[in-house]
Amino acid sequence: MNGCRAGIMNGWRQVSTGLPLIFFKDVFIMAGPISLKNPNELSTPANLEPVKRLNKCGLPFTLLWLAAILSLFPGRLPAQQYSFSHIDMNAGLPSNSIHDIIRDSRGFYWIGTDAGLARWYGNQIKTYGLENGLPGLTVKAVAENKDGNLWLGIQGEGIVAFDGRNFKTVIPYDSLPGNLITRFSYMADRDMLFIGTSNGFATLSNGEYKAYGSLHPDTGTGVIILSFLEAGSFVYVITAANGLYRYYPGRDEPLVHVPFYHGYTRLSHAGITVAGDTIWSPANREVIMRTGPEGTGAYGPLADVMDIAEDQAGNIYLATISTPFSDQGGAYMITGDSLRSLNKMYGLTAESVSRVIYDQSDNLIVISDRRQGLFILFPPVIENGAAGLPPPGDLTVRSFASTDDGAFWILDDQNLWFREPGKGFTMYDKTNLENIYREYLEEEFPSRYSYMLDPEGSYKKYAYLRLSGAYKFRNPYYEIQNGEKLIFPDGAFYSPAEYEYLKARCINPLLGLAPGSDNSLWISTNAGYFRVDETGDIFYFNVRYPGTGNVLVQDDSLLLAAYTSTLYSYRPESPSLPVHVTRIPENVNIASMIVSNGNLLLGCRNHGLILISGNDVSFLSNDNGGLITPVTALSTCSNGNILAGSSNGRIQVLRHEDDTIHILHDISPQGNITGTRIFWIEADGRGYIWAGTNRGINRIRPGIDEQENAVNAGFFGMDHGVLDPAVTSSSVCSNGYIWLGGRGLLARIDTDKAFGLKPSPRDVIIDRIDIDYGETDWHIRGPADNWTGVPAGNLRLKHSSNNLGFHFSTINIGDAQNTLYRYRLTGLNDQWSNFDDNRHVIFPNLRPGKYMLKVEAQLAQNSKSRGTTHFGFRILPPWWQTWWFYTLAGTALLGLFWLILILRIRFVKKHAGLKLNQEREISELRIRALQAQMNPHFTFNAINSIQYYILNKEKDSALLFISYFSKLIRQTMEFASRSSVSIKEEIAFIENYLNLEKMRFEDSFDYKITAGPIKESHKYRIPPMMIQPFVENAVLHGMLHLKKNGFITVVFSATADNLIKCTVEDNGVGRKKSSEINTGNKDKHRSIGLDITSRRLHLMNDPGFNDFRVEIADLHSGEETPAGTRVNIYLPRVTDDATFDEDDWE
């Protein structure tokens, strides 16, 4: 395996379709499922025994024999192709018909089409049409002047100047010498624009316009101008049918006609190389001339050359157009002494190529076609397909292999392709393999698998048959499993159905390929294995289970493995040896496997790394938490290091020493790997890691030591020719190529050319700034850049315009979608964001202040190649946050404070006296209230009542009356010193009073007091002795003159405006009747308590806030018959808690 190491990156999902395969030491190991008959019993693969030899003439003779067979397939299959990207109307171009294209000093590509002008720089295409002010749509020529502005040649309009925003016609169309614009050429040293037309040419310099028509020396008519070539003091003017003219700018000398050049009367284009060679393209002669210090050379055939470009290596690129005289139109390259067709190299169909540009920053070739748009030709690094092979879409590549003598094989599922050193690929006929297998089925298969038709089969029976020579194969009922002997039950392998299944197998598809250590070649098929040794002999080895595609060879031994968690091993050279079975304790899904230090290392999708050493199975990822898991790709380096890739985009470089796996490098995907899943991984001869991901191919340079970070040194995405990232087979060859294969995929990476690609850093462009989440026309607000539309200089914004969005990009036509960005906004956060592909950032609600946005772009092709830009802006504070406002506001506040202080002092002095008077009045009222409650008349009547009870010897009544009276006196004295009492206490006070009055009036009335909806009446407080005067008034004026039993009701309730409402209602004679009775009463009682209570409520009122009041209403029944009086007293409520709890109310 000195020439190439091959391996399958993705394991098979079904055992019946293939099992991973390796040569391992001197043991042949196969991993297969357990018995098809009984899942609980282990079945045994059939003996692996060679059954057929072809010849003994040696491997060189075999190669000649292969070549002879291959001669039966005449003709050349399609050649390889490199990748390109196509930009047309579907991508945003206004038209596929392109007349001219330039790359300006800013890096923008300007494209003149039949339907307007377009600007393109990789991320987007912006078009300019009539709605943008473009005078006409047919843009025939484009050039840039020294100021960075554009000259446009518009058919039917003339010469138009464009400053990025405005279009202005400078030379009217009718002032041109011809009616068709053919070419622009701007010569910066002379600051002169050359304008080619269908009838002569014109120049424009510093506003001076000169036209030159009627150039033909014989007829005096004009000629078609094709191009211009600056040559020292003069300029060659190349015409379509009249040779050359020498034009001396700035002189009054006439044009000098050069009628012939080397015998050619017509030229189409000319150019001068960096080395000083002059390229001449005679028209319609299918040849191009090159003259210089080394002499003259000719290249052809090709059509009319319309444009010439040169790369850094000195390669010349030609744009040609097919004519009625030549159909060789397209793109060409002169490299060394040869002329190569880029159409064939890249598979292009463009035959009207009018312009070609070499983009040095991206190492790309851009060509434009007059019918098909733009083509971007990527460097010839990734080659799709191979000469002599079918197109990749027709292949399902399984494996690669090479031998020490440089021979190389590619195996697809139907054919084996062989290439001798220095020659192309030819196909190997597999008919001989089919014949050998067919002979095996007829001669050996019935006896080998006869035990499947034997219901009496047992270990003892077949041991006896082997001793007697009746059964020459290994005993099917015996096996060594994990180092222990295992004998299967009698009849365990009796299965006629499986016998028929094995007999019906065919060798298709071909699954795997690997060279042996002795230049032999192993071929894995669906029905077993074929081995071609160095002598040319071909052997067939039959196994019970289908073959596999993952084939590795070491010491001419073989290993099969699969994710069925069972490994079977054989010795091909000694088929009589018993099978050795190794079982993995857990169910594993094997993605790939390698041989490391003589042991087997498995990379599993569900268990990471597993090491199998003899009978020992070690789950390394479980034992070492730092090891990568899961593992989707595994391979080895030339220095013995191990590469492991994961489905999370992580890569580790490992070293296997002393039964220990050491982590040398742990490469995270952030900033190092483009993509999130590793499909395959290889290492080239320069120490670079190549990894295929779901986004493309990464070339990574690990750090020199553990402290140095890895660097993504190159990336190749879908546009670079990676047709399918899900590669299933990869191979690194000693000649610097990496081969990739899979379903519909065959590609080869030229690592030498990839190493020479060093993309230059890209300038970051801020191409849009939004305010409040909407696009803004900055030209209206102030000076702005005409080409990007963003503000020029530092931006100053009002405080209300503080929601900013920034759009940024790079000029990267090669791989714009894989460019990563990060940013930071100094003034808000000095920390850089993580690299990602987002090209838009929003900063909402920015505070007033100065800010500096810095954006950094990192190329996927090279993580160290970065471009930067910055943009400063300031958000102005509102007027109320400016220094002058603070000064005025401070002064005003000081004055206001001084005024308030003076007024406050006056107010305090004034109201201090008022408050003192009020407190005195309240105190007097309290005393008067006490006196009113204890008025002599009431006291005298109470004492008379006591005397009455004593005289009538109603001792119990006297004692009860005294008890009520004493409680009333005690409560009155206590309440006089308090500002509030609970409702419960007020009710007790009213009850004592009513009980006394009830006894005085001999139970002529009754009463009822309720707390209304208040659950806990003791929690709510009111001013003391506020209700008793109204109750007293109900007794004296309502009950006293009533001729029936009276009733007084006292109800406490709450109102919505946070007051306590007390209702005192009686069924007495009413206020009118009582007034009439009391009019003639000389000893009438006037309630002083009512007047005092009303005064107290008035003092407690706060105008505009409190509404403490008394409402009195007369009650009637029938025809206005008095039925009593109702009094509603609204009192302030004070609770023990700070807030009112509605749960305290029903």
pLDDT tens sequence across 110-132: 999 999 999 998 778 999 999 99
Q: 403-417, 519-533, 791-805, 1077-1091: which has the highest mean pLDDT?
A: 791-805
Q: What pLDDT shows up at residue 659?
A: 75
Say which range, 317-326, 385-394, 1029-1038, has the weakest mean pLDDT: 385-394
- Mean pLDDT over 557-563 rounds to 57
pLDDT digits (tens, 9 = 90+) for 668-681: 877 678 888 888 89
Write down the pLDDT at residue 33: 29
Q: Of the spans 29-38, 654-663, 1128-1137, which averages the highest pLDDT? A: 654-663
Instruction: With cut-offs at 50, 70 and 90, classify the pLDDT of residue 553.
Output: low
- Res 823 pLDDT > 90: yes
Condensed to tens digits (0 to 9), the pLDDT of residues 253-292 reads 778 877 655 556 567 777 777 667 777 777 666 567 766 6
Round to the nearest angstrom and report the end-to-end CA distance of the chain. Answer: 95
pLDDT for the residue numbered 304: 82
**Is the pLDDT score of 43 beyond 50?**
no
> pLDDT-based confidence at 17, cuts 50/70/90?
very low
Give the separation between CA 164 and CA 106, rounded to whole angstroms. 12
User: 751: number of CA atoms within 13 Å, CB side?
Assistant: 24
For residue 614, the model assigns a pLDDT of 74
The residues, ordered by sequence, that sit 6+ positions from 123 with a Cβ below 8 Å of its Cβ are 809, 810, 812, 816, 839
Q: Which residues pair with 1130 in a beta bridge?
A: 1061, 1109
The rounded distance, in Å, linking the Cα atoms of 823 and 851 is 13
Question: Distance between CA 798 and CA 803 in Å, rounded?
Answer: 11
Query: What is the 3-state composition of the chain as percent helix, strand, coil, each rounded to the nearest 5?
Result: 20, 40, 40
Predicted confidence band at 10 (pLDDT cuts at 50, 70, 90)?
very low
Whether 415 has a pLDDT exceeding 90, the answer reads no
State residue 712's pLDDT score: 65
| Each residue's pLDDT tens digit, 868-882 | 889 999 999 988 888
Selected residue with higher pLDDT from 29 and 565: 565
Most confident region among 139-153, 459-473, 700-714, 720-734 by mean pLDDT: 139-153
Share of the chain above pLDDT 70, in %: 77
Average pLDDT, the chain: 78
- Which domains does the chain show, CATH number per domain? 4-72+388-423+467-648+672-703+716-730 (2.130.10), 97-175 (2.40.10.500), 764-878 (2.60.40.10), 979-1144 (3.30.565.10)
pLDDT band at 577 (very low <50, low <70, confident <90, very high): very low
pLDDT at 7 over 50: no
Q: What is the mean pLDDT of residues 1007-1012?
A: 84
Query: Is 629 a residue whose pLDDT tops 80?
Result: yes
The Cα–Cα gap between 698 and 863 comes to: 11
Q: Read off the pLDDT of each residue in 236-258 and give the average, rounded to a whole number.
A: 81
CA distance 786 to 800: 26
- Count Cβ atoms within 10 A of the Cβ of residue 636 and give its class: 0-12 exposed, 13-18 middle, 19 or more buried: buried
The CA-atom distances, in angstroms, between 74 and each of 69, 77, 279, 385, 386 are: 11, 9, 40, 19, 17
Note the pLDDT of residue 603: 87
- E strands in 919-1025: 981-982, 1005-1010, 1020-1022
Q: How many CA atoms lie within 13 A of 367 on its CB side?
A: 36
Ranges of beta strands (E only) in 188-277 are 192-197, 200-205, 208-212, 225-231, 234-239, 244-247, 256-258, 267-272
CA Rg value for the chain:
53
Return the pLDDT at 937.
Answer: 58
Check: CB of residue 568 under 8 Å from CB of residue 583. Answer: no
pLDDT in the model for residue 217: 58
Query: Has residue 713 got a pLDDT over 80?
Result: no
For residue 653, give both structure tokens: 């470089």
- Residue 529 CA to residue 516 CA, distance in Å, equals 13
Question: Hey, how many other C-beta atoms are within 10 angstroms of the C-beta on 906?
Answer: 10
Q: Measure the CA angle with vertex 487, ends 483 and 489; round to 5°.
A: 145
Angle between helices 936-951 and 955-975 in degrees, nearest 10: 160
pLDDT tens profile 832-852: 998 888 889 999 999 999 999
CA dihedral (551, 552, 558, 562) in degrees, to 10, reads -50
Phi, psi of 1028 (to 5 degrees): -55, -40
With a cut of 50, say whether residue 1070 has pLDDT above it.
yes
Q: What is the pLDDT of residue 1088?
A: 64
Nearest to 631 by CA among 661, 616, 651, 612: 651
Q: How far apart are CA 232 and CA 759, in angstroms?
A: 33
Cite the DSSP H helix spans in 276-351.
342-346
Cβ atoms of 433 and 525 within 8 Å: the answer is yes
**d(C-alpha 679, C-alpha 700), whole Å:** 15
* pLDDT tens digit sequence for 68-110: 333 333 333 344 578 888 999 999 999 999 999 999 998 899 9
Higher pLDDT, 225 or 558: 225
Task: Give residue 11's pLDDT band: very low, low, confident or very high (50, 70, 90).
Answer: very low
**Do residues 1042 and 1004 touch, judged by C-beta distance below 8 A?**
yes
